[in-house]
Structure 1
Amino acid sequence: MTPEQLKASILQYAIQGKLVEQRAEEGTADVLFQQIQQNRKKKNIKEKKYPSITEDEIPYDIPDTWKWVRVSEICSILNGDRGKNYPAKSTLKKEGIPFISALNLDGHTVKNDDNLLCLSNEQYEKLGNGKLIKGDIVVCIRGSLGKHGRYPYDKGAIASSLVICRQFSDEDVLADYFMMYIDAPLFYALIRKYDNGTAQPNLAAKSLEQFLFPLPPLEEQHRIVTKIEELLPFVDSYAKAYEKLEQFNTKFPEEMKKSILQYAIMGKLVEQRAEEGTAEELYQQIQDEKQKLIRTGKFKKDKAFSDITDDEMPFDIPDNWKWVRVGDIFNVGTGMTPTKSESRFYLGGTIPWVNSSLTSNRYIEHVDTMITQYALDNTSLRLYPAHTLIVAMYGQGKTRGQISELLLPATTNQACAALESYSYQEVTTKYVYYCFLFNYEKLRKRAEGTSQPNLNVQKIKETIIPFPPLEEQQRIVAKIEELLPYCEILSKCKQ
């Protein structure tokens, strides 16, 4: 239950006569109603004639000592002045007599802030209607329907989107109870019933006059108001706790995902097994394969990378693991954008061309742009095989640092780094994908530039990752893929 729902439930209980007990010695609402009518007559306020309340109108049962009445029977509903003397906004000042709009109402009172504009005495005197006195309840009937507040100043006036609810009774407790009524679900149900707006919600003052009002005896009203004032601090405390819980629940799936990936690449997600050998052995196998491919001319020889220093290693890894640079186990390349003015590069193209925006997906299996064989033959583009990892080196928003895996042979633009395995193992590609996924924020911070920070191929090559033996990689990937769906389920539960 949200804090708003909790508060609404308490208020609804209050106006149904279920929040405090009824006491015979406190009399009945009929007696109070007659007193209110006497007050109305003393103030020379004309009675508004509306049809009697029918059984079909009554939304729920109330205690026998209560009485259903119409709002017009306990207060006057007063419109603002909508004639020629209505003040233009440009003529209002920061000082003078407050001129209230919905913007100034906070559900309790009138906010005295920079949005409070004022009339001059001359403007105020010219108004024929809509003049406020202290204690009036102001309600919005156009736009923000039901927004309200109690007027705290001696003089004032209302904008045309508001009405004044002025009590016939002089009892403050009745006004306090009325304010609670405006906050309760019944009031908003009646707004929905009578709302006659189309593009803008709109409620006629005459409709508000016909709203049903559950009237308790005066002493019971006092006890209801006291009980509400006693309970609302607990609702506020609940709201703070609820907000913290919501924040936790919102962050938890992503934090859980990060924790799984962190444990995985630190060697803590699965146990190490001596019979699975060492990462050094796997690394040497990859280096042998790399040299063969260089000798055949498939890849160019890279400059040797510097040794990985202790300062570069962010955490300890198991003894049978090895810190490696991405460029030691993958050939890292990029692409380019064939000139758009050369139709032979694109017309009738059948070769996929990837840009960095596609890295938001786990896999790249469809592309928006195709190039021709002519473009591949006459530019520096390289066709990367399926299962090449694609890292976004720059792009808008969250793009930089994202990683995806090709499911089809494709070329790329210059905003992508392509990681082509020297010795393809499906599990190693997946494991390195998860390493990049975990290091997303760290990789982004390595970007350089002012207006738009970028990564480059060299930075991708020099990136270090913790490298386990092949069979342990298989167990790590299997465990990650077993656990991550639970994070997705949790995320969907919050949507």
Structure 2
Amino acid sequence: MQLLEQHFDAAFAAPDGIKKLRELILTLAMQGKLVEQDPSDQPASELLMEIEQEKRRLVAAGKIKAQKPLSPIEADEVPYEVPTGWEWVRLGELEPQFQNGISKRNGKSGVPVTVLRLADIRENQICSVNTRKILLSNSELVQYKLESGDILITRVNGSTDLVGSFIINNDSSSQFAYCDHFIRMRFPYSGYNPQFLNLLSKSRLVREQIESKFVTTAGQKTVNQTHISTLLVALPPLPEQHRIVARIDELMARCDELEALRVEREQKRLDAHAAALNALLGAQEPAAFAEAWQFMTQHFSDLHSVPKNVTELRKAVLQLAVMGKLVEQDPSDPPASELLLEIEQRRNYLIEHESLRTKAETSVSKDEQVFGCPPGWSYEKLGNLAKFIDYRGRTPDKTSSGIPLITAKNVRLGYINRDPYEYLSEDEYCTWMTRGFPRLGDLLITTEAPLGNVAIIDISDKFALAQRVICLQLHRQEFNEYLRYLFMSPKMQEILLSLASGMTATGIKASKLKELSIPTPPLSEQRRIVDKIDQLMTLCDQLDAKIAGQTSMQSALLASVMAAATPASAAPTHRPAPARAPAGEPVRRGPNRPRKEVTEASSEDEEVPVVRRKPGRPRKEPTEAVSAEATPVTERRGPGRPRKNPAEPTRSIPEATSTTDAIRRLEALKIERATGTRQVGLFESEAEGS
């Protein structure tokens, strides 16, 4: 419990903390630790005997068929101890009536009836919007009609979470049937709360059993009626079932409130970060930029405590860099116009001596200068800064080994990933590589699938270049680092997307790439920009690592909280008796079920059950019949139940109170810290809070 008090906030701040909290509530409920037991409740064992007697009567009357007996519950199947009055049972011992859904998709005559499909189940509830009706005959309606309290079980689906899920029908006014993707489960006998069974199906114990029974065919997972019948469940007395359902409903509503509170807090953090970045990016005057930057630095830790904000920070760094706002301009730097003049002289030399064909317009209008133009900066078209090597037109023949082939799939945003590995033969390489050879330090940019990824070539070995990747051989290679970051910036990515065309896969033509207007700082400022970006990207890497470490720690603490709140029970050391037999066969006692005493001789018309001896047990001598009032009741231990001292007064399980009290106090602290006001705790009733 001290572990809960020390680390509650950190543990439940984990990404899946609320989900785990819901699981904890269900786990405590199904272990009998969520509400107190009432000694006056009719024990589940008596309920099961009543069901058995009623079933035997109906079988004898010919109204139902005798079912194949279920396998007995072995001692090693029981996962934990249950309170007094509870029983471990197979779900089939509650005698559910199963019916698979209707398979036909239409009818020629009959009554129009809404037939529920998988699409009509949303958030584990029946949704009657946009349903489909088909014509059913009267006999089909009787067979497949849903009644209030019936439970639909998803029989087949590709999702692990959906298959075997229970959906209770609480609608008594609508007329529904259901398709063959479902199994209907109906309980003709009273004594259990359908809402409790629905909640039971969501518990970790039942879900693990269901998932272990999956039959998978062509990617579809399936369960059947037998799988559901053999599920092992812990059954409390009926009044306690009602109390558990009411308590779970209350706590789940509190979880909803807590989740909404956390979502609201996270949204405020995202909004504050977005506002701070917008102030930085939109600042027109130095004073406004300085004020926005000061706010960012003062609240840096709070603003960047979630991965999404770190991702946005990376984008903002790149955007500020290519707008000339990340580093200061130095008046002593040679202006970019001088650099562009040198590049022009180099380009003219290549045109004259090496037949360079890559070129673009020589002027850039004011409207095209979308990144701004700080002092010393200039603009130039991309086609005038580099030679384009483009291998569009066809796909080379690939082999399992040989010369590496770099494709668009290898070029990521900022780097080259050699996976997947593809190759050309030596002959194919010589035939294919006729338009130019990429060099170490050249820039690669993808033109489609994906569009706009850019990387600097860091491969010293010979390799081939595939289509959908253009190699930019810059006339001044020192330009490459800055240009890579420019193409990675949000604004440039937006421009590329606006120039793209195509229906199935959007791509950009080389002719449009050549006409891109490139903001060009002085070469020395480019180096300062690159150094600053590298420094800040390292900081972002550290922030991501810190957040990942905190998340991992929170998840570990959450696991500790779960383990502390639901300790493992000692394994039982005895084996239960076999399960009961159907009508017409000797009666076998199920686990946790007391032996029925014979009090009076039965009438000639009444069938007398025969008690079967276990192998190796001596035959008991008959005794005189005694009255029910004089018969002492001997309570038998079921599997997982400790031996009770007769002198010890009846009381609820000690663990239940301490666990509930601890979590109640801690959740009160949680909400109090989050809102700054005193509220009723998550595990606290309104009466207790007042």
TM-score by length of 1: 0.73
Equivalent residue for 2:324?
Answer: 267
Q: Distance in 2 between matches of 1:251 and 1:364?
A: 24
Distance 1:388-1:90 versus aligned 2 partners, 3 A rule = same
What is the aligned length? 470
Deviations 1:451-479 (A, max 9, x none): 98764555434423333333332232233
Alignment of 1:180-195 (within 5 A): 180-195=199-214
Equivalent residue for 2:369?
Answer: 313
2:385 counterpart (330, 355, 372): 330
Shift of the alpha carbon at 1:260?
2.2
Q: Distance in 2 between matches of 1:299 and 1:197?
A: 61
Could you say which structure has the greater relative contact order, defined with CA pairs below 8 angstroms and 6 or more residues apart? Answer: 2
Shift of the alpha carbon at 1:34?
5.3
Shift of the alpha carbon at 1:282?
4.0
Deviations 1:262-314 (A, max 9, x none): 122223334445565544454455455556666766757967622542x3333
1:121 counterpart (125, 137, 153): 137
Distance 1:177-1:271 versus aligned 2 partners, 3 A rule = same
In 1, are the aligned partners of 2:403 and 2:423 still within 8 Å (CA)? no
Unaligned stretches of 5+ in structure 1? none
Q: Distance in 2 between matches of 1:374 and 1:177?
A: 69
SS of equivalent residue, structure 1 residue 306: coil
In 2, are the aligned partners of 1:29 and 1:66 still within 8 Å (CA)? yes
SS of equivalent residue, structure 1 residue 91: coil
* Alignment partner of 1:17 is 2:32: yes
SS of equivalent residue, structure 2 residue 486: helix
Q: Distance in 1 between matches of 2:47 and 2:211?
A: 29
Matched residue type, 1:470? L
Matched residue type, 2:443? L
Distance 1:107-1:29 versus aligned 2 partners, 3 A rule = farther
SS of equivalent residue, structure 1 residue 59: coil
Equivalent residue for 2:482?
Answer: 431
Shift of the alpha carbon at 1:13?
1.9
Equivalent residue for 1:388?
Answer: 442
Shift of the alpha carbon at 1:111?
3.7
TM-score by length of 2: 0.55
Deviations 1:178-204 (A, max 9, x none): 111122222222223444666654444
In 2, are the aligned partners of 1:108 and 1:148 still within 8 Å (CA)? yes
Equivalent residue for 2:456?
Answer: 405
Alignment of 1:31-430 (within 5 A): 32-33=47-48, 49-50=69-70, 52-80=72-100, 88-91=104-107, 96-99=112-115, 104-106=120-122, 109-124=125-140, 132-143=146-157, 145-151=163-169, 152-153=171-172, 162-170=182-190, 174-195=193-214, 201-236=221-256, 251-252=308-309, 254-273=311-330, 276=333, 278-287=335-344, 289=346, 299=356, 305-309=362-366, 311-316=367-372, 318-319=374-375, 321-327=376-382, 330-335=385-390, 359-360=411-412, 362-363=415-416, 368=423, 371-372=429-430, 376=434, 381-383=435-437, 385-392=439-446, 394-395=447-448, 397-399=449-451, 401-406=452-457, 407=459, 418-425=471-478, 428-430=479-481
Unaligned stretches of 5+ in structure 2? 1-14, 271-305, 552-690
SS of equivalent residue, structure 1 residue 189: helix
Equivalent residue for 2:626?
Answer: none
In 2, are the aligned partners of 1:334 and 1:412 still within 8 Å (CA)? no
SS of equivalent residue, structure 2 residue 370: coil
Deviations 1:354-413 (A, max 9, x none): 77666557349998555548984xxxx345644333444x44x433x3434345688978
Q: Distance in 1 between matches of 2:432 and 2:330?
A: 51
In 2, are the aligned partners of 1:70 and 1:209 still within 8 Å (CA)? yes
SS of equivalent residue, structure 2 residue 378: strand
In 2, are the aligned partners of 1:305 and 1:462 still within 8 Å (CA)? no
